[in-house]
Each structure stands twice: as C-alpha cells, then as structure tokens.
A and B are shown apart, each in its own frame.
Chain A
Amino acid sequence: MISKKQKEAVTINLDGKEVEVPAGVNLIEAAALHGKEIPHYCYHPQLSVAGNCRMCLVEMGTPMRDRGSGEPILEEDGSPKIGWVPKPVIGCATDVIPGMHVKTDSETVLDCRESIMEFLLVNHPLDCPICDQAGECRLQEFATDYGRGYSRYEERKNVKPKRTRLGPRVTLDDERCILCSRCIRFCQEVADDDVLGFVDRGSFSTLTCFPGRELSNNYSLNTVDLCPVGALTSSDFRFKMRVWFLKETPSICPESSAGCNTLVSSREGEIYRITPRRNDLVNDSWMPDSGRSLYKEVRSEDRLTKPRTDGQDCSLEDAIGAAVAALSVGQVGIVGSCRSSLEEQFLANQLAKGIKAQKFLRGHFGDDDGILLSSDRTPNLRGTLLSGFASAYPKDNLSSLALALKKGNLDALVVMGEDLFESKVDADSINGIPIIFLGTHENATSQLAKVVLPTLTSFEKSGSFVNRNFFLQAFRQSVPGPAGLLPDIQLLSRLLNELVEESFQGSDLDEIWEDMARPASSPLKSLCFSDLKKGCVQLDGSKWASLPFVEKKALHYKPASPKAAKSS
C-alpha cells in the first residue's frame, strides 16, 4: 500500500487512457483530476470513507502476471492482459495503484448507477417543489444524469417524520434522507460532538440524535451543507428562498481571526444565507454557525443609515465638512479598529501620520473552540500590524486612551466603530471633546458623537483581511449598502485629502494597494488587490512572532510562539 504522505505520481489507465495521478488518492479524486466525474453521495474529501451509498461503483483491474514466473501475461496482440475484478468496486475506498485499469463509463458501471439511483429513489418523496435543496441537490442531478427517468415502484412509500427538530438550528426531514452518514461522520470527526446516529433497520433506518442529546454545537449547520439531499435543512433558511435565485459572492467571515472563506448568497440586495467556501489551507469546507447569522446585522434596526452632526441628520457633505473642521485644530486621537479592512487601516494610519494624531486600538477576545472560532474575535488584528497602525498587541480595553483623556492631551477623537464606554473610558473624561464616529451600528459612543459618518459592513464593500495564519484574503461586495452612503475607504480618503496638505490619496482599492505595496520594506511588496482573486496569499509574519497572540492550536493553525500563547 502506498502511504498518503508520498507525493509521487503513479500512472493508471482511466477509460483506456494512460494518465498520471498523485499516489495515494482514491479513484473519485483521480478521475476528477482528469475531468471524469464519478458520482458519489457518502464520500466527502474531508471526511473518512464510509462507502455506504454505492453510487461510485466502477470497474477495476490490474495487469495479470504468471503465478510461477511472475512474467506479465499478454493478449494475442501483445498488449498486457488485464485481470478485471469480477464485480464493480467503490471508487471512494479504492486507492490508485501503479498500472491499475479503471472503467468509469462502461455498460456495467452505467447499469450499476441506474440501479443504485432506483434504490435511492424508492422511498424518496416527491418534495422537490418545496424542498430547499432543489437546485443544488445531488439526488436531482444524478437522477437526471444517471437515473432511468421513470419509476417502476408501485408499492407505498415509507412514511417518516417530516419535521424533526435536531437542534436549535437544524431541522430534519427523515423521508428525504438517503442514509449517507456524512452528518454523523462530521459530528464525530470535525465537530467532536458525537450526537447523531441511525436507528432501526433497512428502509426504516432513521437519522436521530442520541436520547437526551441535541445537535446544538456551533458547527451544526455544516451538516446541512454536507447533506447531499434536502434531509437536513437550516431552520433559519428553511422555506425562505429558492437557491436558483441566489447570487453567490466570495467573502471572508468577519467573526474571528480564523478568516473562514464564505459564500454570501443574496437576491436583489438582500442576503439570505452564508455558507462556507472550500479552502484547504484555512477552513476546509466548514465554518461556525455563529458566523452564518452575521448577515442579520446588515438590516438590523440599530444600523446607522444617515450622516449626523450634533444629533441632527444632515447631508454627507455637511457631515464631512463638520468632521474636517473639528479635526483641523489641536491634538487628535484616532481609535482604530481590528474589524476594519487592511486598506482602511492603512488609510487610518496615513491620516494619523498626516495630522500627527495619537493612535489607539483595542482587541476583542473570547474563548477559543480549537476549530474555527478563535479567541481573537476580530477578523483583522494582524492587519493593524501590517498596515503600521499598531506596533504592539492591543489589549481588551482602551485604558491608554482613558489615560490620555485624563491628562487632557486630546482635543478631538476619530472613532472607528468602537464603543469607548465599553472599553474602560469614562464618559466624564470625554466632556467637550468632539468625537467623529465612523461606524455601521449605533452604540453609546455614536450617540454622543459630534459627527456620525455611517460606514458599510463587510458584506457591502470590498477589501481584505489578514487571518491568524497571516493569510491575506480578499472579500467582495455582495450587496449594495444603504442609499447615499460611501464605503469606508472613500470617507477616509476624503478626510485625508481635506486635512493633510499635498496628499492625493486615491479612494480606489487598486490605488490604495499601489501605495501600500510601494515601500521596499512592506510585507505587501509586489502584491496588488487583484492577486487575491486567485486565493489567499501567505504573508511573512515573522516580524511579529514575539507578540502574545491569543489564538490557541486549532484547525490548520499552530501558535507561532507557544510560550506567548500560554502566558496569555
């Protein structure tokens, strides 16, 4: 047996063609590399192999050898004689071996697929008009590709419970389940919360939670994504919108520094769901449930939608004018945010340099679940280091700002979305100091601010975040922002151009990237924003290796300095 660690290539014969594939992969992956689809339900590249759906049956054989001499046995025409395995084998559990012959579209294989489809559909209800999976359902797809097209089954179909609540976020339709066990394996292997299992036998087999347990872990909605049919449905997305209406935009989850790759599905400017996007370096195919509900903040009631000065709604021009007036005298303090994109942090840093402002920053920390929810609950803390906004690791509060205010050093404050009063800053110490608030949602600070410039959430703008592995990843605008609002980078470049003489800061992402990548010492050197389209970019974070990053060992992440992680 070839171990999976070996990367060498082996040659196999795929449908009569000699092809090279990496050693150690199974037949499904090997065929996929050469554009041949072997249909499958239970196999998932990031889960263990179960081999119970039988959809990936293929024919397999090896060149025959003489038992005595070991000489290859040849056909009459001189080609090696192939000893075909008498019955088809499952592609998911068969790894490639050198010289192996595989048939993926022979008559036997097609017949197998047709029969397996017929068995799977025997008890499957005709729910497609109301099923949320319709349109992205493997059963629908393979039934049209490989099924017989009509049903020979005249007996009664099994009736099973239609709306079982498996957990707070997952609803199960038992009739639709094809017993692939992907969800069970996910709970055992990835979520580490073994709560699902099959009970009963044969066609009465039913997916259930173990008695007294429920599927309530923070990764439960991944089972919905994994489900090849519509059996597991998200209670939040259930019956909300048909999937063929949804436009999918690649994005990055702003929940924590894990930086899960996501797809944001929206229709006509409204987001309906967030699903994980496969990235084997960052999040495999998973993401936490908590990150999936973040789209609700886009339409939340406390969303800031109108610019304000002194508590009165005003035009954006007036608000920017008032902000410029307040910031052009005295010592300014800028409270940055680890939730801003790298480009915004860069502009905030340029602004701080230009008007010689003091910089403050706070981090937001929580518990680490060791998978994809890291203890750093901001998406871009490392971006503040890269952009030069911060040089030290931020604390969980703004005590340095409180100190500066107490001393009376500051005459005006720019706050990027943070709530000062949650960060150990006294309301009294701010007395009389004008606050320019740039943020998406109302908080105590925005209510007290002299000027409020509403900004956009990460779903409404493009930019990039740097995750815990120093992977630079881009997110794209999926829905338009509220009418009349400008993206953060445009607001910041306006402020920069008005306040700092001789500064011509462009407000376009590409222009900002040109400026960011210009310094020879920049870790972003020779990069541009469009490079991130292809995927994440590994940056050199060794310069900051000594900082006490709080993240713990997790999926695809190892703390760079174990000492620092322990001491925090």
Chain B
Amino acid sequence: MAKTVVLERKPLSLSERTYLPQILTGLKTTFTNMFKEKVTLQYPEEKPVLPPNYRGVPTLVKDPNGREKCVSCQLCEFVCPPKAIRITPGSVPEDHEDREHVEKAPQEFEINMLRCIYCGYCEEVCPEEAIFLQNEYSFSGYTRDEMINDKAKLYELGGTLPDDHYKWDKKKEAEEKGNPH
C-alpha cells in the first residue's frame, strides 16, 4: 500500500491575493503576440506550404514518355490496411503501339477515398514507383461514388513525375543490343 502524504497548502501572499501580477503577465503575453508575425492561415483563401514527403491523396503517375508505369502487381492492394485499393489486372496485347515490352497493366484501378487512411504503404511497397501520395489534401465529393477514384481519375490527379529508370526504354534497348537470342 502506498502511503498517503497530506501536504498542507500554503496561505496566499498579499500580491497573490490581489491577482495583479498574474493579470499583468497575461497582458504582456497578449501584447507581445499582437506584434509578432502571424501564424494562422486564412484557409481556404490562403493555402499552406506543404513539406516535401507530404502524404496527400494517392495517385497513379506516368513516366515522362507518357507511359503507364503500373503493372498491376497488386502489392498495394495486398498491403493496404483499410482495403481501399481494388485492382482488376489486365494483359497488354503484344501488338499494342507505344506499349512494347509491357505485358501487364491494370484494366481497372480503384482507390476508395472513403476508406483510405493516407498511410502511404502503397507508395512504399510499389516496385514500379507508379503510385505516389501527392499534395492534394482536400478531396471531397457530394456522393459516395464520387469518392471512389477510378483509373482515369487517378492518372489525372497523378500526372507525370520525373523518372530515374525508364524501364520500358531499357527493356527495348536490351532486346536491341542485349544478347539477342
């Protein structure tokens, strides 16, 4: 058993009983802040400056050649904690123009923004660097259907990001210059 110690409260001094020093200290804080730089933002007229690595709405991006990067490996669907991602995989026909060396791409790609918790696991797990949580943060809609981003919407939101790999170009080069069979 813990021992209970009774502490005697000290009686208030005269200055404490007048409350004046406390009021003056408070007023000092108020007046100092009045002349400092403002920290509040007039949202939504003013928008915040987002830090790099900000985790906004997940989007799909294309490479600078305008090619779809996602190969529908479904790892994001697997890792997604709230199961917001739903992919229908599809294969790319061999004779598809501009899609040489691409075998697989999503036929449909849906992210349910009512479920998404902006955790960023999908971006982290993506082996193709195709999904990014970008700077859009105020995503809203009037109906539930509007809150489900389909493939077209995801590419519209994502746009094109710089790419270090140019995977499809490398594949093409490998076939031309590699050890052709």
Contact = CB atoms under 8 A, between A and B. Distances in A.
A239 interface: yes
A174 B127 CA distance: 23
A242 B178 contact: no
Contacts of A238: 91
Interface stretch (A74-82, A159-167, A280-288, A496-504): A159-167
A159 B104 contact: no
Contact of A206 (B71, B73, B77, B181): B181
Contacts of A134: 73
Nearest to A241: B89
A204 B181 contact: yes
A158 B180 CA distance: 7
A299 interface: no
Contacts of B178: 156-159
A244 interface: yes
A35 interface: no
Contacts of A206: 181
B12 to A, nearest CB: 69
B128 A129 contact: yes
Nearest to A160: B181
B104 A245 contact: no
Given A129-B128, A239-B89, A240-B89, A163 B181 contact: no
A33 interface: no
A243 B40 CA distance: 51
Contact of A245 (B71, B78, B90, B181): B78
Contact of A239 (B90, B94, B175): B90
A130 interface: yes
A158 B179 CA distance: 5
Contact of A159 (B71, B72, B75, B175): B175
A130 B73 contact: yes
A231 to B, nearest CB: 14
Nearest to B179: A158
B119 interface: no
Nearest to B92: A239
B168 to A, nearest CB: 13
A77 B180 CA distance: 60
A245 B86 CA distance: 12
Interface residues of A, number: 23
A128 B177 CA distance: 23
B170 to A, nearest CB: 11
A159 B103 contact: no
A76 B155 CA distance: 75
A163 B104 CA distance: 12
Contacts of A242: 73-74, 78, 89
Interface string B127-154: 1100000000000000000000000000
Given A156-B174, A157-B174, A238-B91, A162 B75 contact: no
B128 A159 contact: no
B91 A239 contact: yes
A130 B71 contact: yes
Interface string B99-131: 001011000000000000000000000011000
A129 B72 CA distance: 8
A204 B178 CA distance: 13
A244 B74 CA distance: 10
Given A129-B128, A159-B175, A245-B74, A239 B104 contact: yes
A235 to B, nearest CB: 10
Interface in A167-187: 174
A156 B176 CA distance: 12
A441 B85 CA distance: 34
A244 B181 contact: no
A239 B87 CA distance: 12
Contact of A156 (B89, B90, B128, B177): B177
A171 to B, nearest CB: 10
Interface string A130-154: 1000100000000000000000000
Contacts of B89: 239-242
Contact of B103 (A156, A157, A163): A163
A130 B78 contact: no
Interface in B3-27: none
A159 B175 CA distance: 6
A129 B71 CA distance: 7
Nearest to B74: A242
A206 B180 CA distance: 13
Which of A160, A162, A238, A242 gathers most chain B CB within 10 Å?
A242
A206 B89 CA distance: 28
A156 B94 contact: no
Nearest to B71: A130
B78 A159 contact: no
B181 A129 contact: no
B69 to A, nearest CB: 11
Contact of B174 (A159, A163, A200, A245): A159
B181 A158 contact: yes
B65 to A, nearest CB: 19
A242 to B, nearest CB: 5
B103 A129 contact: no
A200 B179 CA distance: 14
Interface in B53-77: 71-75, 77
A184 B104 CA distance: 28
A163 B78 contact: no
B103 A162 contact: yes
Interface string A373-405: 000000000000000000000000000000000
A162 B91 CA distance: 13
Nearest to B126: A129
A244 B125 CA distance: 15
A347 B106 CA distance: 48
Contacts of A240: 89
Given A129-B128, A239-B90, A244 B78 contact: yes
A273 to B, nearest CB: 14
7 contacts: A156-B174, A156-B179, A160-B181, A163-B94, A204-B181, A206-B181, A238-B91
Given A129-B71, A129-B75, A159-B175, 11 more contacts: A156-B177, A157-B174, A158-B179, A161-B181, A239-B72, A239-B91, A240-B89, A242-B73, A244-B78, A245-B77, A245-B78
Interface of A: 128-130, 134, 156-163, 174, 200, 204, 206, 238-242, 244-245
In the A-B complex, the 8 residue pairs with the smallest Cβ-Cβ separation, listed nearest first, are A129-B73, A159-B178, A130-B104, A239-B91, A156-B178, A129-B127, A158-B179, A242-B74
